[in-house]
Structure formats: structure tokens, C-alpha cells
Structure 1
Amino acid sequence: MDLINIFLLLLCLGYFGLRRQSVIQILIIAVLITVVGLAGYMSWGTSFAQYIWGMRTTLRFFIFLINCYYIFDMEDICKIWNVLYKLLFVNVIFATYQYFGRGISGDMLGGTFGTLMGASGYLVALLSLVLTYVTSLYVYKKIKIWKVSLTYAGVLYISILAELKVIYLLLVLIIVVSAIISKPDPRTILIVAAAVILLIVALRALAVLNPVSFGYMSSWEDLIFYLNNSYTSEGGFSRMDSIPRINELFFKGSFSKEMFGYGLGQCDNSNIEVLNSIFYERYGHYNYRLFFYAMTYLEMGIAGLFIYLMFYIGILINTVRCSFAEYKEYKLMSILNILIIFIMFVYNYTLRSDPGYIWMLACAVPLVCSKVKRTETTTK
């Protein structure tokens, strides 16, 4: 995958050149990440090979984003999202078999993405993009309410089997933001009603199939306890306390560590033994790799977090500014996707692992649309 990614980038740069503002901006972000990661490595790192591996792990997504920008047009984007939509229902079948036929649930239930630990990360990305897609189509009167309801039901069904509690939160976010952005009308009331009814049914089903997971969502106090609780081992980091714990256990008031971290790759692990960091071998039991923002803070400090946040905020601003012409539904979809990415920043590690390609594909949509707009302007 990496070789194909680089090969396509070289072809695109050779053919189109660098005369694209969006590409230059993406490359600037990539360079900043490389420099900040190098600053941390120069101060506290232990292995240059691990730094190079960290560059590979991080920069591959920006290369993929540039390739998407060069290769795709809006017709391609429409076709891709139509495929993702159909893939949802294929995953309903796979998830049903994995849960009821093989007894697989939780993080290992990944539908068409397999049954290895962490496979559900792909499902979270797919289900999120499908939710924003059908909601946006409905808001702009491209599909009817029965199709939206069927899609919501399929998404919630999979989320029950895979114990993806975050999907409930995302659906609420999607409905609320869509209702705020779009003009209130009977269709808005209808989709809100459909979402509420399906959420109630899904929660009742979750209470029967997985009462422990339901218990975490039964009250505000239980939800806060869940967010503050470690994923696995006792003493591990949680979604809410990672930065304070990192400061307490590792950085200990060091300004350079807080600003630049330990360097790219210096806290990571790999299937290749030589690329396993000493830091991970000693402290991996804290499970900091489960959360993107925790891993980023460890390796690149405040500077790294700032760069990533500015990147996604920049994509959001570009989305709001772009007119999207006859593709208005993709503007709403892109806004919703970026908001979800901010949640993924804290929720899990998928922005840096392989499902990150799916999230970068979502980031490519407003860039592709703005490219089309500029091309039309130039032609005129």
C-alpha cells in the first residue's frame, strides 16, 4: 500500500506539478509534522529507524489525501459514497453471522473488515460516513425518509452487535447539527422523530443483548465513569485523563517534552521487532496507543496537537467557504464528517492506524470540490 501510495504521488506531481494551493498546504502540514517529530527525536529520541517508521506511519495519510485530490472528481466521490452506502448492508449480513454464528462481539467484530482486535475501528469509520451521507441526502431532498430510517436501523443494528456506543452519540450529533444548518421544515421534524424512535429501540435491544454496555449509557454519571475508565489494564490511560497522566508520569514539567514530545516513532510499536520502541516495551501497558491525541502528545507534544487541529480546522473552513455548486449535500456531509473526526481525535486511534485512510477520504471531498470549482472558473 505504501509503495502504491508513493508511486501515485510521484505520477501526480510529475503530471500536475505543485501549482495547486491545496497540495502546497497539505505538504506544509506534512513538513511541520516531520520537523516537530524530528525536534522531539533530537532531544529525547533513542532510534532514528523508529523515527523514520514514525514518519511513514504519519505521513502516508497526507500522501493519500494528495492523491485523492489529484485523481478524483466529484463524480468519482459520488460513486465512492454510493459504494460505501451499499457496503453497509453487506456488513449487516457479515456482522450477523459473526455475532450469532461465531460468537464474536466487541472490538473483534469488524464485518467485512475481519475479526482481528481493533477491526471495529473500520466499522466506526464506515458507519459514521454512511450516517452523514444519508442524512445529507435527505436534507437536500435526494432520498425519502424510509431509506434514511432503513439506513439508521442498519447502522444501529451493527453498533449493538459490535458494542459501538459512540455511534449513538454520533447519530445525535448528526441530527442536531443538520437541523441547525438546514431550514426547519416538516422533513426536519420527520427525521428527528425517526432517529429518536430508532435510538430508543436500539437502546432497548442493547439492554437485552449487552446489559453491561447499556449500563454505561443509563445515566450521565455512568457515562462519565466510562469515559474516565481505562480500556483494559488497571492503571491504563482513559479518554479523559491521558494528557494529565502523561505530564505526571513522563514529562514531569519538562518544557521541551511538553512542546515537542519524545519524537516521531519513539513511543510506537510495530510487527517488526526492531521497530518496537524501548518506551513502548516499558510503558505500553498504559495503553496510550488506544487514543490518537495521547499518542500524538507523547511523540510530538503541544506543537503536534496544534498542527493536527489546525489541519482539520483548515479543512472545515475550506468546506464552509466552498459553494459545492450542485453538490450541496456533500457540503453538509463534509461538515459533519470533520466534526466527527474531532471526536475521533479523543475517542480512538483510527486517525493514525489503517482506518485513517477512510477518514482522509472524507477530508478529500471539500478539496476535490474546490478543485472542480477553480477548474470551471479557469475555463470560463
Structure 2
Amino acid sequence: MGKIRINAKTLIYIIILFTLNIQWMRDFLGLPLAIPNLHIILLTILILLDLSKVIDYIRQNNFWKLLFAFIVGSHIIGWIINLNADPILIVWTFYKTYAYFLFFIVCVIELNVTDVKKIFVIMLACQILNVGFSAYEHSALGLQSDYLGGIFGIRQGGNGFTNIFGVVLINYLITLYIYNKQFLWLFFCIITFLVIAAQADIIGLIILIAISLIITVISMRLSFKKCILIAAGIVGILVAQKVFASMYPERFVYFQNIERLLKYIGGGSNSDGGIYGISRINPFAQINRLYFNDNVGKYLFGYGFGNASYSDGVKLFQSEFYLRNAYFPYYWFSTAYVYLETGITGLGIYLAVALHCLSSSLKYIKVKELKHWGVYELILTIAYVFSFFYNQSITQSSAYLIYFGLAVPYIFNKDIKHLPNLYLKRVNYIKG
């Protein structure tokens, strides 16, 4: 028997499979609460295996070289200003934030067209599993809203993973449909994700699917495929609207005009936090008022990288700030969490990544073979920024899915000669 070889590429597959399945295994098989945190070990091994390649990639790429230099420099200043730096919390917070940047880089380095196709086949299989779990959780267990997580478990907030999973998989299938006319799986995913989103009160996913369809349709020439895509989107959104209105009539009224919607998400002029106690659109005014108290150092650098860290079930990774202020749910939203810890400079780091992806999307749109993958990148960049405000999915393990998704056009650009293999109905194994 041949030896099983664990290399960087294999670990990428394992991490994505782990992300997609570990939470239902935890909740239904009785695994320890903290077991999803094992992804840290997998990611550490991945980075170490590819460390020399990652360093070379960063050295040769001015954007990443400057970004990591800025990250280190700004956070050192933040620790000096706050006179506080806990090494354990720094390492833990690194894995909740910037380690995902390295995962993105490793995906670009190691994966090729065939790997992308295989991974999305895995994701599609997981969506079939997700439909089954969601149906069971809703009909047999009577779960809904934040507790209806499908394959992402039945703990509060598990449905946040569905938001990222859905937008990445649907946009891949939309782009594939443009190139090879395979519609059945796209229609299946549009309908099932929209129904699950309505049942689980994931309004963000419904909005992102609508944005995806609108931008894609605008980018396409008038054709029968375009009309089919419009029809599928309208049918899916109408079904989702009906499901949501019947399950959450008291919340549905918030979506009937802009003023009520702003109140729902805490985006009013007084930024009172809406129904969550913290504003999705503008948590900064609340944080400035409650914690920063006109301190310029706090505005710029926050409480210091790691000093507002939190963890479910592992007290070692819970900062003093979190233990004192857990009643204020800043940890529900990446914007609030990043701003508290690292101030405007921390927000600037994520803005820089978004602008880098936006720039790349516009570059790829100009390349004939990558035009629609450039549109795909544009949509995922919008989803990346949206999710940063919408929930905590950019600063938890669901981020593996969005960073893999964002890496796809970079991988195709690197492996462009094999791109036609993506549009074949079967997965072709490409050497190298």
C-alpha cells in the first residue's frame, strides 16, 4: 500500500471539509464545544508547510508586502499606547483575523483549475447535506432563526456560516452557467439557499443573492440564458419572501420601507443599535461614546490587537475587556470587533484587502477568458464588505470559504491554459 502524503494542497481540502462539517458533527455527535477551534492546528501546519513559498509570494507582491508591514507597525504602536500586550491573546486573535490572508495566499500558490472544480463539487454535495439537515432541524426539532444552521449546527449564530457558503457557491455556479449552460444545479442552489435563508432569518443572504443576480445580468448580453437567470432569481426571491413573511410576520414589516429597515438594523441617526443593541451600519458612534471617550489613540489603534479577544468555551482566549463587557455584543459583528481592538487602522487593513480584490476584478474583466470571473470577483468583494458589517463571518472560521472564493480568479489567471477544463461536465485530472 502506498503512503498517504499530506501536503499543502491536501490540507486546503481538509480545512474546507472541516469548516463545512465540524459544527453539525459537534452538535449531533456530542463532540466537545471547542472542537471547531482545531482548525487552528490545521492552518498552522498548512502555513508551516508552505512558509518559504508564502514568504516568496509576499516579497514579490508589493500589496501584501506593504500590508503586512503596516499590520506589524500599527499594532506595535497600539500595544505601546495601551501598555498592554498579551502574547496568548495576540496569537489567538491572529488566527481570527490575518491568518486567513495567509490561507488566501496558499490557495493561490497551490491550487489549480481542477482543484477549484473538485472543491466546488464538495461544496455542492455539502449543500445537498445542508438541505437535509435544515429540513430536519426545522420540521423535527422546530428550530428557526439563529438556531437553524443546517450543516453549521444548532447553536446560536451557526446560520452566519450559511451566508458566506451560499454567496460563494451560488456565484461560482452562476459564472459556470454563463460559460457552459449547466442550469439545474444553479436553480437548485438558488431555491434551496433562499428558502433556508428565509427560514433562518438570514436577510443578508437574500440581499447578496439578489445583488449577485442583478450584477451578473447587467454584465451579460441579452440572451435566452439571461432571461432564464432573471426568471430563476424572481421565482426564488418570491418564494423566500413568502416563507419569511409567514414565519416572521413581526419582522417582515421592517422591510416594507427604508425607515423601518434602518431601525431594524440599527442604522438610524441616533445609532441606538436597533433590535440587536448594536448598530450594523454604524457601530463606531456607539463605541466612541461608550468606550473611546474622545481618545485619539483609541480612535486610531483601539484597545490593542488581542485586547478585546473572545472565544466560545475557551477561557484562556477571553480577554479582560470581553469578560467585563460581554453584555455589549461587539463580537457579533466584525466591524465592531475590529474597531474596538485596532481602531481606524484595523478597519483600514480590511478596506485595503477589499480594494485590492476590487482592482483585480476590474483587471480580470478586461481579459477575454476571465471576463465573467472578474464579475464573480467583483460580487464576492461586495459580499466580503457586506459580511464585514452584517455579522462576524469575516473574523471566524467561515472566513475560509470567502477567502477561498476570492482566490479563485487569481488561481484561474495563474492556470489559464487549463481553464477550458472547468467547463467540461466531468472533473479532469491535470498533472502539476
The residue aligned with 1:119 is: 158
Q: Deviations over 1:288-342 (max 9, x none)?
A: 1111111111111111111211112102212331367656543332221111111
- One-letter amino acid of the structure 1 residue matched with residue 333 of structure 2: F
Q: Secondary structure at the match of 1:76?
A: helix
**Is the 1:136–1:330 Cα contact (8 Å) retained in structure 2?**
yes
**Is the 1:22–1:367 Cα contact (8 Å) retained in structure 2?**
no
> Structure 1 residue 79: deviation in Å?
1.6
Between the aligned partners of 1:88 and 1:191, the Cα distance in structure 2 is 20
The residue aligned with 2:317 is: 275
Within a 5 Å distance, the mapping from 1:343-362 to structure 2 comes to: 343-362=386-405
**Is the 2:43–2:103 Cα contact (8 Å) retained in structure 1?**
yes
TM-score by length of 2: 0.79
> Which of these residues, 410, 414, 428, is aligned with residue 367 of structure 1?
410
Q: Secondary structure at the match of 1:285?
A: coil
| Match status 1:61 vs 2:103 | no
The residue aligned with 1:46 is: 84
> Structure 1 residue 273: deviation in Å?
2.2
Q: Secondary structure at the match of 2:395?
A: coil
Distance 1:152 1:56, change over 3 A: closer
- One-letter amino acid of the structure 2 residue matched with residue 143 of structure 1: Q
The residue aligned with 1:184 is: 222
| Match status 1:168 vs 2:206 | yes
Q: Deviations over 1:215-239 (max 9, x none)?
A: 3323323211111174766xx3120
> Structure 1 residue 375: deviation in Å?
11
**Is the 1:77–1:365 Cα contact (8 Å) retained in structure 2?**
yes
Q: Secondary structure at the match of 2:304?
A: coil
Distance 1:141 1:73, change over 3 A: closer
Between the aligned partners of 1:162 and 1:219, the Cα distance in structure 2 is 22
TM-score by length of 1: 0.89
**Is the 1:38–1:51 Cα contact (8 Å) retained in structure 2?**
no
**Is the 1:251–1:258 Cα contact (8 Å) retained in structure 2?**
yes
The residue aligned with 1:260 is: 301
Within a 5 Å distance, the mapping from 1:76-225 to structure 2 comes to: 76-144=115-183, 146-225=184-263
Q: Deviations over 1:211-266 (max 9, x none)?
A: 23323323323211111174766xx3120231011111222222221111111111
RMSD: 2.6
> Structure 1 residue 15: deviation in Å?
6.1
Q: Secondary structure at the match of 2:50?
A: helix
Between the aligned partners of 1:119 and 1:62, the Cα distance in structure 2 is 23
Structure 2 regions of 5+ residues with no counterpart?
1-38, 267-271, 420-432
Count of matched residue positions in the alignment of Structure 1 and Structure 2:
373
Between the aligned partners of 1:62 and 1:150, the Cα distance in structure 2 is 31
Structure 1 regions of 5+ residues with no counterpart?
none
Q: Which moved more, 1:246-255 or 1:287-296?
A: 246-255
Within a 5 Å distance, the mapping from 1:273-352 to structure 2 comes to: 273-322=315-364, 326=369, 328-352=371-395
Report sequence identity in percent.
Answer: 24
Q: Deviations over 1:91-137 (max 9, x none)?
A: 11110001111112222221112112221121111111122122222
Between the aligned partners of 2:246 and 2:60, the Cα distance in structure 1 is 49
Between the aligned partners of 1:131 and 1:375, the Cα distance in structure 2 is 22
Q: Deviations over 1:188-207 (max 9, x none)?
A: 23322331232122211222
> Structure 1 residue 353: deviation in Å?
0.7
> Which of these residues, 281, 293, 305, is aligned with residue 240 of structure 1?
281
